[in-house]
């Protein structure tokens, strides 16, 4: 990074070292855009660049009394910019890593929840099926295996209309059973939250 030095830099730095706020403002405005462009080239983020430049100049103001010891102010600014930018990039990388880990964890939790919900729903359906009358139960199970009504009709020696009727009654019972159990579960959960 090559800074365009201001013509009276030594005089301004002397004023800043003594706590002259006007000299500091002049120094700030002389280098602000140059440093911002350099930092932006590394971060590709205008807000971050502006924040880092402000941090650098806060550090310049804090360390102003050491200016007489500094041989090259532009090298000093470069080192401050480099260090603050690297710290920013490290924090950004760490945040992204944490966010990626969070997303992986959230996906895992969501997946586990979905599996649990599916297992619970499957168990409820199985319990409901076990409560069905024998004919409805057998029609329901054969239908779940993928058999069509005419096939079930032949296998069970029933009319197709009877198969449809048993299937309808079985589906109605199973869905009402599951709905009732879920409603009870939600009600219990709400009571426990109070």
DSSP states of 62-98: HTGGGGGG-S-HHHHHHHHHHHHHHHHHHHHHHHHHH
Whether the domain at 9-97 and the domain at 131-193 fall into the same CATH topology: no
Task: Taking the CA atoms of 164, 143, 140 and 119 in sequence, report the sign of the dihedral they define.
Answer: negative
Residue 68: pLDDT band with limits 50, 70, 90:
confident
Q: Does domain 131-193 have CATH number 3.40.50.620?
A: no
**CB count in 10 Å sphere of residue 77:** 23
The CATH class of the 9-97 domain is mainly alpha
Query: How is the chain split into domains, by residue range?
Result: 9-97, 131-193
Per residue in 70-120, pLDDT (tens digit) is 888 888 888 999 999 999 999 988 888 888 877 777 666 566 556 555 667
pTM of the model: 0.53
| H/E element, 23 | helix 21-43
Nearest to 145 by CA among 121, 129, 162, 123: 129
């Amino acid at each position: 990074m090559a800074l365009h030095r201001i013509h009276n830099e030594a005089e301004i730095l002397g004023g800043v070292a003594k706590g002259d706020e006007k000299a500091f403002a002049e120094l700030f405005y002389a280098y602000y855009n140059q440093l911002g462009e350099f930092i932006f080239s590394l971060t590709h983020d205008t807000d971050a660049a502006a924040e880092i430049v402000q941090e650098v100049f806060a550090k310049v103001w804090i360390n102003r009394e050491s200016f007489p010891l500094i041989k090259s102010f532009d090298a000093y600014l470069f080192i401050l910019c480099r260090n603050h930018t690297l710290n920013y990039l490290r924090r950004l990388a760490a945040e992204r890593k944490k966010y990626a880990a969070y997303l992986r964890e959230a996906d895992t939790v969501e997946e586990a929840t979905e599996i649990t919900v599916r297992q619970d729903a499957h168990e409820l359906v199985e319990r409901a099926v076990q409560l069905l009358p024998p004919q409805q139960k057998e029609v329901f199970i054969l239908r779940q295996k993928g058999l069509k009504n005419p096939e079930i009709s032949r296998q069970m020696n029933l009319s197709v209309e009877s198969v449809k009727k048993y299937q309808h009654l079985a589906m109605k019972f199973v869905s009402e059973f599951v709905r009732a159990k879920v409603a009870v579960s939600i009600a219990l959960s709400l009571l426990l939250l109070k």
